[in-house]
Amino acid sequence: MLKWLVSVDGSESSVRAVTHLIDKMQWFKQPIEIHLLNVQHPMPYGNRVTSVIGQDKVAEYHHDEGIAALKPTRDKLDAAGIKYVFHIGVGDAAETIVNYAREKQCDQIVMGSRGLGSVSGLIMGSVATKVLHLAEIPVLLVK
């Protein structure tokens, strides 16, 4: 079974990546295990914020924001009848994506070429560029 990690940030680009994946599913003879991953940024000022509002509230915030970002892609996969599992990570986006792919023993990473980040490259987003450099497995960027 092929395992794919699909990075999702709620952007139109990540929705197009999932749409592309759905459109190409019939190309594969064996089933594909899909892992959706949304990566949340850590709280600014780290432990200072956590100590004031509490670890549970911070975790709840990351969960709620992650679920919201995953919703459009989950809706598309649900409508297509495609099974998947989803994950919400916290940390540096590119490093977290590559680490999840390694941990889940994924065969490929699929992601949009540009995301919601405020700093992006001229041709593709900075997260996509960093994933390309860090990943040890193929990365499919969908424009």
CATH for 2-142 is 3.40.50.620
Provide mean pLDDT across the span 116-134.
69
89 bridge partner residues: 39
The dihedral formed by the CA atoms of 40, 41, 45 and 48, expressed in degrees to the nearest 10: 10
pLDDT digits (tens, 9 = 90+) for 58-93: 889 999 999 999 999 999 999 999 999 999 999 999
| Nearest alpha carbon to residue 77 among 31, 116, 35, 138 | 35
Is the pLDDT at 56 greater than 50? The verdict is: yes
The structure's pTM equals 0.86
Max mean pLDDT among 45-59, 63-77, 113-127 falls in: 63-77
Count other C-beta atoms under 10 Å from residue 26's C-beta: 7
Give burial (CB, 10 Å; 0-12/13-18/19+) of 72. Answer: middle
